Structure 1
Amino acid sequence: MVLFKFKPTTSGIRNKVKIFNNLYKFKFFKKNSKILRFSAGRNNKGVISVRHIGGRLKRKYRYIDFFRNKDNILGVVERVEYDPNRNSNILLVLYSDGERRYIISPKNLFISNTIISAPQTPLKIGNTLCLKYIPLGIKIHCVESKPGKGGVYSRAAGSYCVIISNFYDKVIIMLKSGLLKKISFMCRATIGEVGNSEHFLIKLGKAGCKRHLGVRPTVRGVAMNPVDHPHGGGEGKSSGGRDPVSPWGKLSKPLKKNV
């Protein structure tokens, strides 16, 4: 991983920061993908139901194996790829039976490394096993909420969970946010933390990059007319003259108590 700061030859790349990873630069594995429809924030009637969404570049969804249900079949990491639908990278794994699947890329798992899934496996980065056989304090990711449901917790870049205690048939895991979850000890998890933890260091540099991701501009309410927003109108620059509200009049912040 290398952080690259561009020379300020234009104002658009003056503050741009990009991460260069050793990712696969050719076509992805098309058999495990589909065309992802984009609604641009509109419902089935064509009416905008979610604001500030639209104008995104075309992208395809890669099917990710969150279940890891190929038990006792050895898999070899073929390549590391970029996924436009998530901030973590993905791995293309070739199993010994000839099948290929995408998985979330753990940290420090490289090309030609081997992984395996089973109810009980060695504690090695990339291996998937039941929480019953994972000791306390080990970093895990892609944790199931119910047995057989597939990984739900800790799938974003740089995230992980830790088992802090266990009971008869339950374990308590702590997410990176500090939230505690009590789940069955037969739920599966993958050893290690999710890679690409430097994703938060990226700076897009210009508004056009955000538009390519499907984010449209957000206009302040005080810059609108009274017909468009409760904060609109007024002579000159005004602060709204009332408590902050949404465009539909609902309070967006708690009221300040007069002391």
Structure 2
Amino acid sequence: MKQNKQFFLKKPLKLLTKYHKSSTGRNNKGRITAWHKGGGHAKLYRKIDLKRKYTQGIVVGLEYDPNRSAFLARIFNPDTKNHAYIIAPSEIKRGDVIRSNSTRNGFQNGHSKTLQYIMTGTLIHNLSTLPEQDAKILRAPGACGLILKRTKNLAKVRLRSGQYRWFNIKTIATNGVVSNPNFRFNKLYKAGQSRWLGRRPTVRGVAMNPIDHPHGGGEGKTSGGRPSVTPWGKPTKGKFTKRFRVQPKPNVKI
């Protein structure tokens, strides 16, 4: 789906942003635990309503979020004069009315409801695992789940991965599909674009020195000379399953 550029807002709201320091893959001791992270452009974290229990109003426009691949929709409530961010569903338009915790039956794009008010066969996103919690499932671009059946207390949902899960019927989900479904087709045209996103280079072990990796060293191009291991010498493809027999020493009399 091609998005209208005039529909996008350039600057985020100051009241709904905060400074967020990246860990660059290090733990509380300063040691790297997640490799290939660090650098990147400065980012502000947008405060998003993931519970979708009270946010309602009129869609002002879409915004780019540097912390996720999906777009954000800015909602303005004319009654309270407050703004809010939600994960934007696809096919949303400026001027659309968004309601949260709605009890209306039928499909209303972007409206959040408990699973008991969503019809079976409906596509949903922004799904929480338990009632009164933030949504943690189906938030990626183009993600959606399908409600298959409902009982008195549970609802069966097919997730994007193909997994079937039962959820409490009081959990809240949002109608529609997450925006920006063509994100996976984006192409990086130079190495610098990857660095802007905070991704550091990945180097093969055989290209390192012996002090840096067990596969390193050697004259010319070598293939490591041993099964694949981590920088600390542990097998990366699992432990050996073959049993090696110890050959008995020959009983030779001199």
Fold in common (TM above 0.5): yes
Query: Can you list the C-alpha shifts for 1:39-80, whole angstroms capped at 9, x where unaligned?
Result: 22222333322221111111100001011111xx75100111
Map 1:53-72 onto structure 2 (within 5 A): 53-70=37-54
Q: RMSD between aligned alpha carbons?
A: 2.0
Which residue of 1 is the match for residue 80 of structure 2? 97
Alpha-carbon separation, structure 1, partners of 2:203 and 2:180: 32
1:145 aligns with 2:126: no
Which residue of 1 is the match for residue 103 of structure 2? 120
Map 1:226-237 onto structure 2 (within 5 A): 226-237=210-221
CA contact (8 A) 2:101 2:172 kept: no
1:205 aligns with 2:208: no
Task: Say how many residue pairs are matched.
Answer: 240
Could you tell me which runs of 5 or more consecutive residues in structure 1 were left unpaired when the two chains were aligned. 3-18
Map 1:161-200 onto structure 2 (within 5 A): 161-200=145-184
Alpha-carbon separation, structure 2, partners of 1:235 and 1:53: 31
Which residue of 2 is the match for residue 51 of structure 1? 35
Segments of 4+ moved more than 6 angstroms:
255-258
User: What displacement does 1:104 show?
Assistant: 0.3
Which residue of 1 is the match for residue 69 of structure 2? 87
1:229–1:23: structure 2 CA closer, same or farther, 3 Å change rule?
Answer: farther
Could you tell me which runs of 5 or more consecutive residues in structure 2 were left unpaired when the two chains were aligned. 243-254
User: What displacement does 1:168 show?
Assistant: 2.8
Which residue of 2 is the match for residue 245 of structure 1? 229
Alpha-carbon separation, structure 1, partners of 2:164 and 2:31: 39
Which residue of 1 is the match for residue 245 of structure 2? none
Q: SS state of the match for residue 157, structure 1?
A: coil
CA contact (8 A) 1:66 1:151 kept: yes
Which residue of 2 is the match for residue 221 of structure 1? 205
Q: Which one has a bigger Cα radius of gyration?
A: 2
Which residue of 2 is the match for residue 130 of structure 1? 114
Q: SS state of the match for residue 64, structure 1?
A: coil
Greater Cα offset, 211-220 or 48-57: 48-57
Alpha-carbon separation, structure 1, partners of 2:5 and 2:159: 27
User: What displacement does 1:22 show?
Assistant: 4.5
Q: SS state of the match for residue 165, structure 1?
A: strand
Greater Cα offset, 157-166 or 21-30: 21-30
Greater Cα offset, 49-58 or 125-134: 49-58
Which residue of 1 is the match for residue 143 of structure 2? 159
- Identity fraction in percent: 39
Alpha-carbon separation, structure 2, partners of 1:174 and 1:31: 37
Alpha-carbon separation, structure 1, partners of 2:38 and 2:56: 42
TM-score (normalised: structure 1): 0.86
TM-score (normalised: structure 2): 0.88
Q: SS state of the match for residue 136, structure 2?
A: strand
CA contact (8 A) 2:92 2:109 kept: yes
User: What displacement does 1:251 show?
Assistant: 2.1
Q: SS state of the match for residue 183, structure 2?
A: helix
Greater Cα offset, 81-90 or 49-58: 49-58
User: What displacement does 1:139 show?
Assistant: 0.5
CA contact (8 A) 1:143 1:189 kept: yes
